[in-house]
């Protein structure tokens, strides 16, 4: 069971990669069409990178 648990740094790296993927999706959507303010705010919030992954 212990072997199935990822080290903390790997968990953080996975979270970081997932956030980068979301950011790329948001940028792609913004490039397709003009978003209204609510949509833009939602995409920005959805894709916010977990910047605290470095320090904790």
Tens of pLDDT, residues 20-54: 888 888 888 888 988 889 988 887 777 665 555 55
Q: Count structural domains, the chain.
A: 1
What integer pLDDT is reported at residue 55 of this predicted model? 52
What integer pLDDT is reported at residue 50 of this predicted model? 58
What integer pLDDT is reported at residue 48 of this predicted model? 63
Answer positive or negative: Cα dihedral of 14, 16, 17, 18.
Answer: positive
What integer pLDDT is reported at residue 40 of this predicted model? 81
Task: Determine phi and psi for 23, rounding to 5 degrees.
Answer: -65, -45
Domain hosting 37: range is 8-48
Residue 23 lies in a domain: yes
As given in the structure block, the two tokens for residue 2 are 């212990």
What integer pLDDT is reported at residue 16 of this predicted model? 84
């Amino acid at each position: 069971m212990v072997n199935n648990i990822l080290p903390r740094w790997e968990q953080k790296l996975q979270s970081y990669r997932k956030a980068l993927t979301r950011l790329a999706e948001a940028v792609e959507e913004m490039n397709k069409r003009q978003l209204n303010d609510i949509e833009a705010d939602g995409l920005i919030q959805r894709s916010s990178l977990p910047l605290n992954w470095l320090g904790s």
